[in-house]
Amino acid sequence: MSVTLDEAQIARILQGIKIPPQPQILVDLQMEQIMPDPDLGRIAELISQDVGLSGTILKFVNSPLFGLSNKITSIQQAVSLLGLKSVINIVNGIAIKGEMTDETIVALTRFWDTATDIANIALNVARKVGYHSPDEAYTLGLFHNCGIPLMMSRYPDYSDVMEASYAEPEKDAILDVENRHYKTNHAVIGYYTAKSWNLPGHICKVIADHHRAEPYLDPGSAARPDERTLMSLLKLAEHICGNFHILGGQTEDYEWAQVGHLALDYLGLTDVDVDDLRIAFTEMGISVCNYR
């Protein structure tokens, strides 16, 4: 049964939401909501393609207002629980807050381009390897870099520093370079953002550590099996999508060189499987990287 939220409740929960939604997604949602019979499934599909919108919807449905015993990670389920009226009110509230300059849109394009592709890759590989909750893999893929737009909004030179961090082959280089410049990094910011959205604790933990994957993937790791699987799925999805190239401007994935074999071993996959996945995702219309 859906719950209709009033304006005061929406305004209170929207406080602190800073990741702007993709303009085209907002346009598509507004077009859908003015249809004579809006399609809630289509609305959920559009929302699931955007980090900021998805995070906000999950924050609402996982709030104490609903009193759910288990955290929800499925956007489809969250939208169904909220109901059409509340979802439209939330989206409209974000649209009002989310006006962006052309410069901001350009700066965020690389982030938006990778988020949904990585989420879709993680979802499909999770299904292939039989992971019990593919929705969690999608959620992690969508949100793992949610700290990036917040860093961009705070630090004008962040894009340059991010590229420099991906160019370093040393272990933990991405976070170390950011920490030297800013005394923080996008993984830490992403962790606290995910917590504020009431995402499940094990997903928040993997977001915090997603550039320090080796302790999760070592054969003797003490990490929980779901954390190890989600980390493996994420690193594989990042590699296939080409985060190192799209966000980092590099032609070599130094992170994958360090942990890729561990991720594949844990998932029971091989390099041949990765090549097959690239072909399959290309045929599905998901962007994959030609660099290895």
CA 49 to chain centre: 9
Q: What is the pLDDT of residue 84?
A: 86
Predicted TM-score (pTM) of this structure: 0.79
Q: What is the tens place of the pLDDT at every residue in 54-78?
A: 988 888 888 776 777 788 899 999 9
Distances (CA, A) of 133 to 37, 137, 141, 272: 31, 7, 13, 25
Separation between Cα atoms, residue 128 and residue 48, nearest integer Å: 21
220: its two tokens: 């003797």
Separation between Cα atoms, residue 180 and residue 170, nearest integer Å: 15
3-state secondary structure of 150: helix
Separation between Cα atoms, residue 292 and residue 182, nearest integer Å: 30
Residues 6+ apart with CB under 8 A from 27: none
Positions in the chain whose pLDDT score sits under 50: 1-3, 5, 10, 13-14
Nearest CA-CA partner of 44 in 76, 89, 66, 12 = 76
CA dihedral 9, 11, 12, 14 (to 10 degrees): 120
Distances (CA, A) of 61 to 40, 81, 140, 274: 16, 7, 17, 36
Separation between Cα atoms, residue 41 and residue 290, nearest integer Å: 33
Separation between Cα atoms, residue 219 and residue 214, nearest integer Å: 10
The domain limits of the chain are 7-97, 102-283
Q: Are 126 and 237 contacting, i.e. CB atoms less than 8 angstroms apart? A: no
Q: What is the pLDDT of residue 2?
A: 46
**DSSP-assigned letter for residue 283:** H
Q: What is the pLDDT of residue 10?
A: 43
Say whether domain 102-283 belongs to CATH 1.10.3210.10.
yes
H-only helix segments in 20-157: 23-33, 40-47, 51-61, 75-82, 84-97, 102-129, 134-143, 147-154
Q: What is the pLDDT of residue 280?
A: 94
3-state secondary structure of 161: helix
